[in-house]
Amino acid sequence: MEIKIDNENKILVIKLLEEIDHHSCEYIRRRTDFEINRYKPKKVIIDLDGVEFMDSSGIGMILGRYKNVIRNNGKMGMVNVSPNVKRIFEMSGIFKVIHLYESIDDVMKTV
């Protein structure tokens, strides 16, 4: 699993570049929790540009990171969600708690 991390202006961007399934979730969880606890960002953005497939464990993993972020008084959002993954998120109701942005530029305008 390849993950890219960028921390700028108290915004932590976590770019996921492969599918998210049961096997990759543990690594993503450990890596993102480390970065969230390290930087204590005001906002965490999950960039799903490289993700075309995600199973239910991915939803749980993202919600767990959301809880970690709000515990640190931060906010969380997502960008670049493919139509397949967006459909899964809509069915799960995740957009009720995690905002979907059109682009990283839109995120930067809201800080």
Tokens for 63? 């919600």
Q: Domain segments of the chain: what residues?
A: 3-109
Contact 18, 28 (CB under 8 A): no
Reported in sequence order, the residue ranges of 1-111 that DSSP labels E, i.e. its strands, are 3-8, 11-16, 43-47, 75-79, 99-100
**Residue 75 φ/ψ, nearest 5 degrees:** -125, 160
| pLDDT by residue, tens only, the chain of 111 residues | 567 778 877 889 999 988 999 999 999 999 999 999 998 999 999 999 989 999 999 999 999 999 999 998 999 999 999 999 999 999 999 999 999 999 988 887 776
Tokens for 1? 């699993």
Report how far residue 104's alpha carbon sits from residue 20's, in angstroms, rounded to the nearest whole number: 21
The pTM is what?
0.89
CATH 3.30.750.24 fits 3-109, yes or no: yes
Tokens for 34? 């480390």
Rg (CA), the chain: 13
Tokens for 31? 């890596």
